[in-house]
Structure 1
Amino acid sequence: MRWDRLFEDLQDQFASEWEAERAALDTEAERLRLTRLPLRARLAALAHPAGPEIAVEVGEDVVRGRLTAVGEDWAGLAGDAVGILRLDAVRAVTLEHADLLRSARAEPARPATLAERMGFGFVLRDLARRRVGVVVHGIGGGALSGTIDRAAADHLDLAVHDAGSPRRAGEVTGFRVIPFTAVTWVRMDAGP
């Protein structure tokens, strides 16, 4: 009778130690997974039109809204303003705790969508093609309004004019060549 009890105690002790070791391994595996999780993936987990409201500190600005798309090096945000944020200019993202945890969950592997493969320059070239008025916000907190004439590999040409006015020769007050690295985010002009 005592032997049975001894073996039961040993078996229970072994089971407890096994569970503790397995929990430690699971915790370490989760830590390792998180070390490989880029900001882009966390934002992509939150990107959909009915997604959560977030606040993004980008350069000197705080932009509020919902993430609509996440590309290779940019994120689209719709809220008070519609804009394109450069991911490497993001300083912080403020969101609810549940959304924070949801963004850190493991996502099943899937092929990248077309939007996820598009770079910042690709999106700016589309705005140039559409002749959309924009406000380009810079690293130092300044902003220039105008129309993107061209977006090259690592910079854009901006025809500077008043926000809300169309790009007409008489309205253009100057031209700027702006490196992408000097841009924090680009807001689409709401127009008049």
Structure 2
Amino acid sequence: MVADVKRVIKLITEQRNIDKPALQEGFPMKSWNIEIYVLDEAGNERPATCFSKAVYNLHPTFPNPTQTFTEPPFRCENEGWDGPVPGDENGGVSRKKDADGKKRKRTGQIDMEKLAEGLIKLQEDDLLHVVQMIHDNKSEDTYTKNDIDQGEFHVDLYTLPESLVKMLWDFVNAPNKAY
């Protein structure tokens, strides 16, 4: 009888803003890295020696968009602009689909697409409160753009701290919200 072996893989990513001019307006330059580990039974990080290599397929605008590493922790480190790539969904890798066939990306227990839909439906006073919540609780990695001329406020929800995402979720789903 063959024994089942289950492994938990942990990807650790870090990013920080760097003092370099943006290559594209509105998308700050970042220094970032990613590492791959295997968790043991106690949840401790161990070298991912079960893999012989890791191949990272970066956005084609990177000078070397396909990078291969053969030694754990398979650290890939780069600098580049930060933000969504128009027409490119999660680097070309499809996200999981819910039962209704819609693609979803979840952060913790929060459905980010439902959060975005709820934010869009808010009344003006509630939207002003949301903008203030974001300004008061954002991190240095949070991407926001306030376009006063157009009367628009942009935020990348995926760059918000987890605690702020939870605050926004609770606010949007409060029973007294009238859409």
Give the TM-score normalised by the residue count of structure 2: 0.23
Give the TM-score normalised by the residue count of structure 1: 0.22
Greater per-residue strand proportion: 1
